[in-house]
């Protein structure tokens, strides 16, 4: 699927619902103080699972979100370009791209995923059917880390509406909680739509 992102056109994850639905779903989310990180380990969310044809989830996202992507027999991209909606940069090497979990694994853990089964955490970490996985500039993703929208937003303001809609969509799909500062930040970001 191609979507316009500023002056560039790039592929993207399945789009989240629009602003009105996002506002409705945000109101449905349980507001609760963020839980503890106790017991969290990234390995409790098996990620970059096999997607068939020797492709991992990461490789599938690189192929989906890039332009003119070519891949080798191992499914790893051998060419293409990637536009990062977080900062507006375009990259020609897959090594410059991280696959961001819109709702970071540690954030999910603190918002309810600590009680999930391993198979549910794996489904969350490899969800190609929602707006959970995005190909973005590696150092921008690293600056985000596991912060929620009260603590971090993408540097490119034009993406703030899509960011909020995507974040809410993922939290709603997985019945994860939001804390009060996170909810207020999301409401503010929706005002940019």
Q: Helix or strand or coil: residue 101?
A: strand
Buried b (16+ CB within 10 A) or exposed e, 143-180: ebebebbbebbbebeebbbbbbbbbbbbbbbbebbbbe
- Among the ranges given (6-10, 51-55, 136-140, 162-166), the one the predictor scored with the smallest mean pLDDT: 6-10
Q: d(Cα 114, Cα 61) in Å, to the nearest integer?
A: 26
DSSP state for residue 178 in the 8-state scheme: B
**The pLDDT of residue 12:** 84
Q: d(Cα 96, Cα 150) in Å, to the nearest integer?
A: 26
Q: Which band of pLDDT confidence, cut at 50, 70 and 90, is reported for residue 9?
A: very low
Q: Which band of pLDDT confidence, cut at 50, 70 and 90, is reported for residue 32?
A: very high
Q: d(Cα 126, Cα 104) in Å, to the nearest integer?
A: 12
State phi, psi for 69 to the nearest 5 degrees: -75, 130
- pLDDT, mean of residues 14-35: 97
- Helices (DSSP H) in the chain: which residue ranges? 19-28, 57-65, 105-110, 118-125, 138-144, 160-173, 180-190
Asked if 129 contacts 173 with a C-beta cutoff of 8 angstroms, the reply is no
Beta bridge partners of 14: none
- pLDDT, mean of residues 134-149: 97
**The pLDDT of residue 11:** 62
Stated pTM of the model: 0.93
- pLDDT, mean of residues 22-36: 98
**The pLDDT of residue 5:** 31
Mean pLDDT of the chain: 94
Residue 87 to residues 63, 82, 124, 160, Cα–Cα distance (Å): 20, 12, 25, 11
């Amino acid at each position: 699927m191609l979507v316009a992102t500023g002056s560039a056109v790039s592929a993207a994850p399945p789009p989240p619902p629009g602003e009105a639905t996002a506002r409705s779903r945000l109101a449905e989310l349980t507001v609760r103080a963020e839980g503890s990180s106790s017991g969290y380990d990234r390995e409790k969310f098996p990620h970059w699972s096999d997607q068939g044809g020797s492709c991992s989830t990461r490789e599938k996202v690189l192929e989906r979100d890039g332009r003119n992507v070519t891949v080798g027999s191992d499914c790893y991209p051998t060419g293409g370009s990637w536009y990062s909606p977080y900062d507006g940069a375009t990259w020609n090497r897959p090594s410059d791209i991280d696959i961001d979990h819109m709702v970071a694994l540690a954030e999910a853990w603190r918002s309810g995923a600590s009680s999930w089964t391993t198979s549910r955490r794996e489904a969350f970490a490899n969800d190609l059917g929602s707006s959970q996985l995005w190909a973005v500039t590696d150092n921008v993703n690293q600056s985000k880390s596991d912060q929620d929208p009260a603590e971090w937003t993408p540097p490119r303001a034009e993406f703030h509406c899509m960011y909020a809609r995507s974040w809410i969509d993922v939290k709603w799909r997985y019945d994860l909680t939001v804390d009060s500062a996170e909810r207020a930040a999301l409401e503010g970001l929706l005002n940019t739509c």
